[in-house]
Amino acid sequence: MRRRFHLPDGVIYLDGNSLGPLPVAAAERVRRTIEDEWGQLLIRGWNTGADGEGWMGWPTRLGDRIGRLIGAPEGSVVVGDTLSIKVFQVLDAALKMRPDRRVILSDSGNFPTDLYMAEGLIATLGQGHELRVVAPEDVATAIDEAVAVTLLTQVDYRTGRMHDMAALTALAHDHGALAIWDLAHSAGAHEVDVTAANADFAIGCTYKYLNAGPGAPAFVHVRPDLQDRIAPALSGWLGHAAPFAFDPSYRPGPGIERMRVGTPPVLQLAALDAALDIWDDVDMPALRARSLELSGRFFDGVSELCPSLMPASPADQTCGSQVSFRHDQGYAVMQALIARGVIGDFRAPDILRFGFTPLFIGESEVDAAVSHLAQVLTTREWDQPQFLARKAVT
């Protein structure tokens, strides 16, 4: 699998949980889309691409390919827009389905954009809704009959701590609430089964473990029995039942099609299509087992050689495909490590975060990364002006 990615020489890449590396096939696939389809077919590409399939059908076709990775049935996932847009869509849909309730329940480990979008939607609706944020370990006890919807990210972006999707969804349903799951740090990292968990909605991005490139579009899953009950707030023209009838009023499209909003980002979808080819040959249980082996090896190595770091991740299998440690100069430590060619990232206020993608990371890279980190800390290599100065992206 490593041969199917472009990885720069001399780099140990432990940040695929934030931006996946370039699949070798993606560059050629995008080139073909630009030159053979856009270049030669022009606007005809919407109906008939180089392979006979028009661009207009890509969001649902690629949605089905992602669906296989998250346990979603065919026709229940569509790709397009950004993750923030998808949060807004599904949260609004869920609140409309529980008009007698006013509480959105989330946790303090959720990715901030999910909380920001909830705050913005509450202000827009002006109906007295409340965003209730509790500690991750308190979610289960906070679900009651006032909750309209739970808005949770399965894997904590900072620590890697993992929620039990099936258990919390069942608890939400027992109390009459709906469940939204953000799979941004789950899809492509480990086994996910939204059908078995009976999740109402799921959303996620494609530029992390799915390796579709910076800014690649998001996906949204809606449980099949709920799809035709949704009244989309973002009623874009491609979610219309007949976009090219150019009706003056909106009529929602059938099923998952109504969750489309704007024009598909064709070049990004081409990269995603190539990236998903890799997953056709991946056994997800084997991937998960190997991920746990590698992350456990890193955790044990750092715990032994880097006593100044405090673990931020669970030391057991309740963790996603990442490991995090705390250090009061975490940003500078990570910058010094990156300068050595070991790329992870930093999350405020003090977390060094390392992702483990077995498709292109092995034991030798793990051991080398531990050694480099130990040297950076032992020699205080991080304590230099170029490493202490904050950049725009951490």
Structural domains of the chain, ranges and CATH numbers in brackets: 29-279 (3.40.640.10), 283-388 (3.90.1150.10)
The burial class, CB within 10 Å (0-12 / 13-18 / 19+), for 82 is: middle
Q: pLDDT class for 50, splitting at 50, 70, 90? A: low
* pLDDT tens-digit series, residues 153-205: 999 999 999 999 999 999 999 999 999 999 999 999 999 999 999 999 999 99
* Amino acid in the structure at residue 375: Q
* pLDDT tens-digit series, residues 304-354: 999 999 999 987 767 899 999 999 999 999 999 999 999 999 999 999 999
Q: What is the pLDDT of residue 319?
A: 86
Q: Which residues pair with 133 in a beta bridge?
A: 106
CB-based burial, 238-251: b 16+ in 10 Å, e otherwise: bbbeeeeeeeeeee
Residues 6+ away with beta carbon under 8 Å from 284: 69, 190, 191
Residues 6+ away with beta carbon under 8 Å from 356: 14, 291, 294, 295, 298, 321, 322, 323, 366
Closest to 162 (Cα-Cα) out of 358, 316, 294, 301: 316
Q: What is the pLDDT of residue 53?
A: 82
Would you list the DSSP string of 20-38? PPEEHHHHHHHHHIIIIII
Q: What is the pLDDT of residue 394?
A: 84
Q: Which residue has the tokens 């026709």?
A: 75
* pLDDT tens-digit series, residues 343-391: 999 999 999 999 999 999 999 999 999 999 999 999 999 999 999 999 9
Q: What is the pLDDT of residue 51?
A: 67
Percent of the chain with pLDDT over 70: 98
Q: Please give the positions annotated as active site.
A: 111, 182, 207-208, 353
For the full predicted model, state whether its pTM sits above 0.75.
yes
* pLDDT tens-digit series, residues 263-304: 999 999 999 999 999 999 999 999 999 999 999 999 999 999
Secondary structure of residue 239 in the 3-state scheme: helix
CB-based burial, 140-159: b 16+ in 10 Å, e otherwise: eebbeebbbbbbbbbbbbbb
